[in-house]
Structure 1
Amino acid sequence: MIHLPHLVIDLGLILGSAALTTLIFKKLKQPLVLGYLIAGFFVGPHFHFFPSVSDEANIKVWAEIGVIFLLFSLGLEFSFKKLMKVGGSASITALVEVIGMLGLGYGVGQMLGWSTMDSIFLGGVLSISSTTIIIRAFEELGVKGQKFAGLVFGILVVEDLVAIVLLVLLSTLAVSQQFAGTEMLISVLKLVFFLVLWFVGGIFFIPTLLKRTRKLMSEETLLVTSLGLCFLMVILATKVGFSPALGAFIMGSILAETTQAEKIEHLVKSVKDLFGAIFFVSVGMLIDPKMLVEYIGPVLLISAVTIIGKMITSTGGALISGQPLKSSVQTGMSLAQIGEFSFIIATLGLDLKVTSGFLYPIAVAVSALTTFTTPYFIKYAEPFYNWLEAALPEKWSSALKRYSSGAQSISVVSDWQRVLRGYIVNVLIYSVILLAITLVASSYLRPWVERNLAGNGYATIATVALALLVMSPFLWALAVRQVHSDTTAKLWQQSKYRGPIAILRTSRLLVAVFFVGFVVDQFFAFYVALLATLGILGILLLFTKKIQRFYDKLENRFISNFNEREAKALEAQARRDALAPWDAHLASFEVRPESPVVGRTLLELGLREQYGVNVAMIERGKMMLTLPDKDERLYPGDKLDVIGTDEQVKKFSAFLEPVSREDEPQRKSEVVLRSYEVFGGSHVMGKTIRSSGIREQGHGLVVGIERNGNRILNPDSTLVLQEGDIAWIVGNPKRLPALFRVKEKKEIKS
């Protein structure tokens, strides 16, 4: 008789039950995650009507693989560039929400008489919202094109990164069993060090590898290569003391910057879905009905705290960041749940044996309850806002509108801020690279030399020389390379900035001296190291041109790899911007072959007159038509970026019958909606919109003017721009700021 391994039988039970429950949940239009949890309960040890999984240890291994694939997929959707572009509103809102929920969770845990570690982990569980559930709810309710959705997706991107930091900090806290400030600071610095190192190294090598092997890459080999890189980073992260999930997330975010990102994401999706299902089923296996009955009070209390707390903290954070009341309320009511990261945090507490057994099933129960309520809160967010606006005193409403309008006005970054920020980034990146080379030389290269070349007097000198040779381009970049050279030269002409600039330059040189001395000191006596350091710095200055040429090649390779995805894809798709005070924002649509707009010009359609929307851009294959002419015809497959209010976009959507795109909220854009204040002495002040050069020079379209508290939507081209006006413009963010900067004194005199 043939004997089946227990693992095969267990997988059959897991996938069979998961298939049955998810079909039911699909029919009921409920999130599939809940179906997986219930499937896990059915095959778990606490439910005996069906056969139970016999070897839970193996399932935990498969669940760990599931976590790795979940975080790898999140990394593919994350992208460091998206984080840099996510904007201040999303970052502020996410941080306010996370900090608020950490405090609320800890407070509720203490109120219930739980231990300190249980309370801390409860705060971590409640602090992160569910990306999966929110995306699904937005798709089902058809609100992905609305203004607040872009802000929500930005918040989720920031929360993903915060969750990774939380995993590291909670692991450190669990090991030390006390809140040790020094250890936490060391953990954060260690995380920053490896994040910068892995990101810089990954962007430098991996896109080049994929590019040079492109002809050899079939779908099969690309999938295997991607997963191989993922698990290599998992191993590396584990070796340096981080969780496997962090390694998977980092590799996913690195691959997200390559031109193959979408293809990798598509190839990995099926594998991720399989192992993700196993992970969520394994979560459901730990649900103990007796424990849920025993802790039904805390479950209901924590669910209420989660919903109300997230609504208040998210809404408050959005208001603080300058969002209008409507968008803030919709954002807060969309984020009122916990999900997949909460399970991972709760699992971490169990694995480290620092949390009680009841925390995990409570987290699952709270997630299930808040998942059911999420679609209803999103659906009724706008009616709630209407009631709230009517109930608020007029004085409060006016104050919120003034604050929102003022907070969203773009202020020009000063030259000094640009230079200071450039110096800080310069020192941080090159210090990380030099420290990494130093650690490799002292921890690996030196022992290898001593072990294999003992007694050779030149071995030590060769080791130091090799380390310094590798470090030389980065030492030059740290100590000598100019940062924002034109801006720095401009500031140097002003006497008040000469002292600070000299201090910045000196500090960079001292950091470079430290690294040279540190390396040499590993192998020689202090005085020898001091003399050698001075000599090496002299050599750097002597061969500065050759080193500069070599460094320029390295930098150009990095920048080329970093921007390759944008350059190759030619994607200039409009990002939803949550800036417009009258609710105007960018939304994206695709023209179907049967759409009534096919073959007609924009003039014939009269979209502005009928629906109040403006077409900001048309993407046609690899061709991009920014601010298209009125005689431009629309064809099947055209991707339109239009600007309008939620109501206008909704009407236009019904007319056009758009096709939503999954990556729509995170699309890169060369066209955005922003506000610019007209200052006295600026290039546009005193000119009409037509003669200001906004369209011709800035590639922009003025869609609104705020003047003395009044709003003018779609102003006439003959309107004269006055000092103090706030112009809302859709256009190229790189060209427009120059038109609104104040002219130099020489220009004004002339």
Structure 2
Amino acid sequence: MGHLPKLIEDLALILIAAAITTLLFKRIKQPLVLGYIIAGFIVGPYLSLTPTVADTANIETLAEIGVIFLLFSLGLEFSFKKLIRVGGAASITAFVEIIFITIAGYFTGKAMGWSTMDSLFLGGMLASSSTTIIIKAFDELGIKTKQYARVVFGVLVVEDIVVILLMVMLSTVAVTKQFEGTEMLFMVVKLLFFLLLWFIAGIFLLPTFLKRARTLLDEETLLILSIGLCLGMVVVATQVGFSAELGAFIMGSILAETTKAEKVEHLIKPVKDLFGAVFFVSVGMLIDPSAMVQYRWPILWVTLLTLFGKCISTTLGALLSGQPLKQSVQVGMSMAQIGEFAFIVAALGLSLGVTSDFIFPVAVGVSAITTFTTPYMIKFSPAFYNFIVRILPDKWESKLNNYSSSAQKIQAESNWKKVLKAYVSIVVTNGIILLALMLLSLRFLQPLLEKYFDGEITLNIVTLVVSLIIAAPFLWALMAKRPNNMSYKELWLDRQYSHGPLLVLEISRNIVGVLVVAFWVDQLFSGTVAILVAVPVTILVLVLFSKRIQIFYQRLEGRFLVNLNAREIAAEEKNSSSDNILRRHFKPQEELSPWDAHMIDMEVNPLAGYVGKTLEELGWREKYGVNIAYIKRGDRIIYAPGRTSRLFPFDHLGIIASDDQMQTFKPVFDVREQTDNSEQIVEDIVVQKLVVDEHNKLKGLTIQQSGIRERANGLIIGIERNNERIINPTSTTVFEWNDIVWIVGERGKIQKLNEASRDNS
């Protein structure tokens, strides 16, 4: 009989135990992660009643591979554009919660007598909530269409990327054994630099390669290529000084922007599930029941910190971001748990040899308790909000409402915000590329040219000239490229108030460009040469050849943007002949978030009693206060349907309503089971704000008299007046000075309405 390696025996034992426990946990409708952990405990060294894994070293290696594929898969689901779409509300909420709970976790650990490293990793373990548990709870409670649920999903996206960065920081602290402010700041800057550099280079090169090799890429070769790219980036990240997990996540996020993202995600899922199961089973193998009993009090304190600390900090973050009190409370009570990342952070500390063994039992205990409490926290959040309102002084409640209202007024005038973001994007993107080129020229180009040039001065001159020729397009963009958006043009035309600040921005970035060139030259020559010779010559060359440089840069930028948007372009082309036109046109409208109102896509049940009736006959707006923004029928979308529009089977309606209105209206509509509508709102339908002033001459007119419906092909869904909000106002409502009017309609016609108001002024 041949010899069977212990690794195969151990894998058989692990996977059989995992299969049995996952079947059981599916039956009792609990998260599979806890099932894997229990399977690990069953085959671990602390339970003598069952067979035990023999070769733990090999299992640890497989577990590390599991973490890499888990992070790679997370990167495939993640998208930098998704992070941008999250918006300020979710970002502020996430950062407040993460900062608070991480610091609180550290001091809780110190208060329990833990070491500094144990306390730091405890803070990192508490930094993220469980996406799996939250989505499962939302599904079971049927609240994924609630407005606050979208904020929760946005916070989870931000948490994922922040926790990845936290893992890198914890790894650095663990290796260097230092926690100096300047060192940490340098490490964060270095991390952000490489993150952006890898992303820019990856988006510029990888989609083009995949496009040219598409005829050769079948499922097998695409799988091998994806895994190779993942492990290759893991090697690069570790060589630079970061963790393997970061490299896997970055490569996943780059592939997420390509047209092959869905295919890769589908192919990699079995690999991720297999090695991920091994990782979570290995976590369970480290659980010592006696340790859990011994550390029952730390488990209790950390559980209480998770339940109350995350709830309070997330609620506070949502309030600071300008969300209403009710929505903030619901967001906070949804996030009070820890998830899969807690085990990954704990495993990281153990693999580095800087944390104690009891970290795992504490993490498992807290995760198990908070998993069971999460549905109840979510379910009773409205009742808790009502309790807060009863005990909260009226003065405080009024101040919170005023703060939320003020946040929306700031958002109503966003031209400068858009222009500043455009300038920051230009400077940061091109600055990072220039810094990378500088490092490449000094570390690779100069040593390469030493073989061909003897004199040091000649060598440095040739190195500088070649480097600056390559860098010329990016130097031009840094110093001369203007933002290409309407907001910049509108501000530039406002000579009285905007010319001065815009000129300051232009001068500032030119100074940055000059400093970059001076620093570059200073690395090869003296500072005097940089100031008196190289900088003037470089600027002169940029001016003389600006036209050619501009054309070349635009070609580079065009290729980058095509690669960046290739996935969306391909999806649009695929859906152009598909019945699912909604997925091309619809996405969440975060502008409605402060109103406790949002747009929901609902399908008409063919057996509903209202089929064939007109909107006037139904009178839903008058009875329930809801608005119908569109009717999608086959490949046709009817924007802002009129009173005579009829409803037919399988029509999709875009319904604008608050959570309370929807709760009353949903049984009437008899909607069937819905999926997450986070991608189902028409792109051509936008929500914009208009301030009633002397320019548009709306003061004193009713909604009907204003003609906004006809001119913008849209609906007025809300008016904010003296810190009060009127949702779905009637057509007889009269406009007053400084009213903030919320209009939903076709993008182009609303923009023309705004332009006409400015022209009349």
TM-score, normalised on structure 2?
0.89
- Post-superposition shift, 1:671? 4.0
Offset from partner CA, 1:380-415 (integer Å, 9 cap, x none): 212222333334344443443333333334534465
Report the more deviating stretch, 571-580 or 296-305.
571-580
- Letter aligned with residue 544 of structure 1: S
Residue in structure 1 matched with residue 428 of structure 2 by the alignment: 428
1:320 maps to 2:306: no
Residue in structure 1 matched with residue 388 of structure 2 by the alignment: 388
Contact 2:654 2:681 in 1 (8 A): no
- Cα distance in structure 1, aligned partners of 2:7 and 2:648: 54
Report the more deviating stretch, 564-573 or 357-366.
564-573
Task: Pick closer, same or farther for the CA change 1:496–1:613 going to 2, 3 Å.
Answer: closer
- Cα distance in structure 2, aligned partners of 1:662 and 1:416: 34
1:717 maps to 2:720: no
- Cα distance in structure 1, aligned partners of 2:255 and 2:543: 37
- Cα distance in structure 1, aligned partners of 2:701 and 2:125: 55
SS at match of 2:227: helix
- Post-superposition shift, 1:432? 0.5
- Cα distance in structure 1, aligned partners of 2:633 and 2:203: 30
- Cα distance in structure 2, aligned partners of 1:649 and 1:493: 43
- Post-superposition shift, 1:256? 2.7
- Cα distance in structure 1, aligned partners of 2:446 and 2:243: 29
Contact 2:587 2:680 in 1 (8 A): no
Long gaps (5+) in structure 2:
573-583
SS at match of 2:743: strand
Pairing partner for 1:566 from 565, 568, 576: 568
Contact 1:580 1:728 in 2 (8 A): no
- Letter aligned with residue 658 of structure 2: T
- Cα distance in structure 2, aligned partners of 1:270 and 1:605: 49
Pairing partner for 2:717 from 690, 703, 707: 703
Matches within 5 A, 1:15-30: 15-30=15-30
Report the more deviating stretch, 676-685 or 147-156.
676-685
Residue in structure 1 matched with residue 580 of structure 2 by the alignment: none
- Post-superposition shift, 1:17? 1.0
- Cα distance in structure 1, aligned partners of 2:184 and 2:682: 35
1:649 maps to 2:662: yes
- Cα distance in structure 1, aligned partners of 2:556 and 2:653: 38
- Post-superposition shift, 1:734? 7.9
Matches within 5 A, 1:151-300: 151-300=151-300
Contact 1:682 1:741 in 2 (8 A): no
- Post-superposition shift, 1:502? 4.7
Report the more deviating stretch, 169-178 or 334-343.
169-178
Residue in structure 1 matched with residue 115 of structure 2 by the alignment: 115
Offset from partner CA, 1:127-147 (integer Å, 9 cap, x none): 211112111211122111111
- Letter aligned with residue 255 of structure 2: L
Residue in structure 2 matched with residue 587 of structure 1 by the alignment: 600
Pairing partner for 1:541 from 531, 540, 543: 543
Task: Pick closer, same or farther for the CA change 1:410–1:309 going to 2, 3 Å.
Answer: same
Residue in structure 2 matched with residue 448 of structure 1 by the alignment: 448
Report the more deviating stretch, 525-534 or 449-458.
449-458
Matches within 5 A, 1:301-316: 301-316=301-316
- Cα distance in structure 1, aligned partners of 2:588 and 2:406: 22
- Post-superposition shift, 1:287? 1.0
Report the more deviating stretch, 625-634 or 734-743.
734-743
- Cα distance in structure 2, aligned partners of 1:666 and 1:213: 33
Contact 1:574 1:586 in 2 (8 A): no
Task: Pick closer, same or farther for the CA change 1:667–1:450 going to 2, 3 Å.
Answer: farther
- Cα distance in structure 2, aligned partners of 1:731 and 1:581: 19
The percentage of counterpart residues that share the same residue type is 53
- Post-superposition shift, 1:245? 1.5
Long gaps (5+) in structure 1:
none
Residue in structure 1 matched with residue 341 of structure 2 by the alignment: 341
Contact 1:146 1:587 in 2 (8 A): no
Task: Pick closer, same or farther for the CA change 1:350–1:676 going to 2, 3 Å.
Answer: farther
Task: Pick closer, same or farther for the CA change 1:624–1:68 going to 2, 3 Å.
Answer: farther
Task: Pick closer, same or farther for the CA change 1:520–1:713 going to 2, 3 Å.
Answer: closer
- Letter aligned with residue 131 of structure 2: T
Report the more deviating stretch, 262-271 or 123-132.
262-271
Contact 1:576 1:665 in 2 (8 A): no
Report the more deviating stretch, 7-16 or 399-408.
399-408
Offset from partner CA, 1:552-596 (integer Å, 9 cap, x none): 111222223333433443422141648456632222345677777
Offset from partner CA, 1:576-625 (integer Å, 9 cap, x none): 64845663222234567777777776566655456543333455676655
Contact 1:145 1:588 in 2 (8 A): no
1:664 maps to 2:657: no
- Cα distance in structure 2, aligned partners of 1:646 and 1:540: 57
Residue in structure 2 matched with residue 77 of structure 1 by the alignment: 77
- Cα distance in structure 2, aligned partners of 1:275 and 1:599: 54
- Post-superposition shift, 1:706? 3.8
- Cα distance in structure 2, aligned partners of 1:614 and 1:221: 50
Offset from partner CA, 1:535-566 (integer Å, 9 cap, x none): 23322211111111111111222223333433
1:627 maps to 2:640: yes
Contact 1:587 1:649 in 2 (8 A): no
Task: Pick closer, same or farther for the CA change 1:659–1:55 going to 2, 3 Å.
Answer: same
Pairing partner for 1:531 from 530, 533, 536: 533
SS at match of 2:717: strand
- Post-superposition shift, 1:698? 4.4
- Letter aligned with residue 544 of structure 2: L
- Post-superposition shift, 1:103? 2.1
- Cα distance in structure 2, aligned partners of 1:692 and 1:226: 57
- Letter aligned with residue 124 of structure 1: G
Task: Pick closer, same or farther for the CA change 1:253–1:604 going to 2, 3 Å.
Answer: farther
Contact 1:683 1:741 in 2 (8 A): no
Contact 2:599 2:681 in 1 (8 A): no
Report the more deviating stretch, 576-585 or 147-156.
576-585
- Post-superposition shift, 1:449? 2.7
Residue in structure 2 matched with residue 37 of structure 1 by the alignment: 37
Offset from partner CA, 1:230-251 (integer Å, 9 cap, x none): 3332222222111122122222
Task: Pick closer, same or farther for the CA change 1:738–1:298 going to 2, 3 Å.
Answer: farther
SS at match of 2:703: coil
Contact 1:148 1:331 in 2 (8 A): yes
- Cα distance in structure 2, aligned partners of 1:333 and 1:321: 17
- Letter aligned with residue 588 of structure 2: R
Report the more deviating stretch, 632-641 or 172-181.
632-641
Residue in structure 1 matched with residue 509 of structure 2 by the alignment: 508
- Post-superposition shift, 1:470? 1.6
Residue in structure 2 matched with residue 63 of structure 1 by the alignment: 63
- Cα distance in structure 2, aligned partners of 1:48 and 1:453: 72
- Cα distance in structure 1, aligned partners of 2:639 and 2:261: 26
Task: Pick closer, same or farther for the CA change 1:252–1:145 going to 2, 3 Å.
Answer: same
